Amino acid sequence: MFVEVQSANRSINWLELEHGIYSIGSDHDNQIVLKHEEVSPRHAILCIRSGGSWIEDLTLGKTMVAGHPVRGRAEVLDGQDIQVGSCIVRVYRHKLERPVNSSGLETVRGEGMPASAPSPVAPPAATPMAEDERDDRLLTRRQTVMRQIHQELIERLDIKRLTAAHIEESELRRRVLSTLEAIVKEVGPRLPPELNPQGLVKDLYDEAVGLGPLEELLADATVTEVMVNGPARVYVERNGKIELTSKIFLDDKSVMAVIERIVSPLGRRIDESQPYVDARLKDGSRVNAIIHPLSLSGPCLTIRKFSKQPLTDDDLIRLGTWSSPMRDFIRACVASRRNIIVSGGTGSGKTTLLNVLSSFLPPSERIITIEDAAELQLKQEHVLSLESRAPNIEGKGAVTIRDLVRNSLRMRPDRIVVGECRGGEALDMLQAMNTGHDGSLTTIHANSPRDVMSRLETLVLMSGMDLPVRAIREQIASAVDVIIHESRFSDGSRKVTHVTEVVGLEGDRTTMQDIFVFVQRGLDDQGRISGHFQATGAVPTFIEELKSRGTVVDFSLFEQNRNGL
């Protein structure tokens, strides 16, 4: 197929095109570039097939075929004039010989057409459109319309300027909503019939001042995690299982706008010099974003949601995360100021469990929480929440978890709760546990309670202190009393698999004993994990100390034949 492109000054270029889909516009990334002020950056889409060609307008009526405005999509006959601004495009099955300014032949390939692939044969015109193809076209058309209206909104209402002027949030939302409704009303007669104007206004409103297509997912109570792998692939986690959603962003810029909308109020930034960032939403949900050049899939966003009503210890029993005897023993450990580490892999529920343990802390004590992104939801009155700070654009001003742990020791804490130890702050945390700050809580990534010991040694060495391994192990054995290990299973469930006491140091080896374990039997008919919690029969060595602190512990909790489920 041959395409004749006549520019505004009447010069003519010829293009030889294979069957495929071609974008037309003034931007250089289009397959057919028309440089003229009346041509939009992305003006139209030309589809060439053996069964016929068609043009789809992306400018709400500024593309014309044979003198008639294109409403959505129009068929193009051989040699028919397609007016794009002041330029003319014609499609021919065979190249015509013309004496004027022909600049030769240029071969252009359509989207999704590899060089070695043969030209596809289009089905006969009478053949009904496949359901998937129809859905894709409707989705493309909806994206196109939304992009155009969104651009019009930006031109009429400078949202960034209004935000920078610290306009009231309610006033900003009112202005955006009224402007959107006016734009949609103006273009209403030209909208494709399958688009619902009200739904369009809502989606565009979310895109302009909210989190775009994520708004609905974040409002869904069944969704626990949202994962954006570029603009076209949005995944969620439901009931521990990951699934692909139908939600999409307009383009990479839309994803970037959402990321900046999240991190800017927190005083954080993301750009090519700082291409990843940790942040949080207003409800405390954890956010991680990473962009080009580190991400080759476009801007990626991961949101770990937290329920508006934090889970309680009874909820964990109902969900099968732990048993009642486990809960009672751990509550006694927290009340009697045992130092506890919650361990587990990524997504195993460590922070949720730490939140539950924090609820056992007495309301009369002064509690200091230290996190990278504040997400713990403590209900006590006397709580101070500290959050680390990333460096500024000059690479200065960073405040690390380690700095905050050191500073917290001067704030007269009764309890120190560190969201996660992942670096040299592990040494300062152990020092605090060993110097009168009993009852501290933290989490750590590890595959088992035994691995926690090795991981702590590694983290202490990351502090830069040249300490002998024996001294490090003595610090760990003296500081840590209990390790609660949680795992995420194949069916998506989370369970406390070990409640382990750190007994002490024998020679160069840290001795430990399991108090409670989860015994897995297998899978049931529905693929869910089958098993039970049980006591190992071991009695904690600090049981007498619990009694001396006034904590009553039922010895029947430790009977080996007692199952929690």
Contacts of 122 (CB under 8 A, 6+ apart): 19, 49, 50, 51, 52
Contacts of 506 (CB under 8 A, 6+ apart): none
Residue range 325-340, pLDDT digits in tens: 999 999 999 988 999 9
C-alpha dihedral, 265 to 270 to 271 to 274, nearest 10°: 140
Q: How far is CA 51 from CA 121, 127, 493, in A?
A: 8, 11, 53
Which residue has tokens 């010069």?
11
- The tens digit of pLDDT for each residue in 29-85 reads 788 888 888 888 888 888 887 777 888 887 767 888 888 888 777 888 888 889 988
| Angle (nearest 5°) at CA 256 between 250 and 259 | 120
For the domain with range 313-364+428-555, which CATH number is right: 3.30.1490.20, 3.40.50.300, 3.40.190.10, 3.30.470.10?
Answer: 3.40.50.300
pLDDT at position 379: 82
Exposure of 356 in the CB half-sphere (CA atoms within 13 A): 21
Q: Which fold has domain 2-127?
A: Tumour Suppressor Smad4 (2.60.200)
Report whether the peptide linkage leading into residue 325 is cis, meaning its omega lies within 30 degrees of zero.
no
Structure pTM?
0.65
The residues spanned by each domain of the chain are 2-127, 134-304, 313-364+428-555
Q: Can you give the pLDDT at residue 126?
A: 37
CATH of domain 134-304: 3.30.450.380
SS3 for 347?
Answer: coil
**pLDDT band of 107, cuts 50, 70, 90:** very low
| Rounded average pLDDT over 184-209 | 71
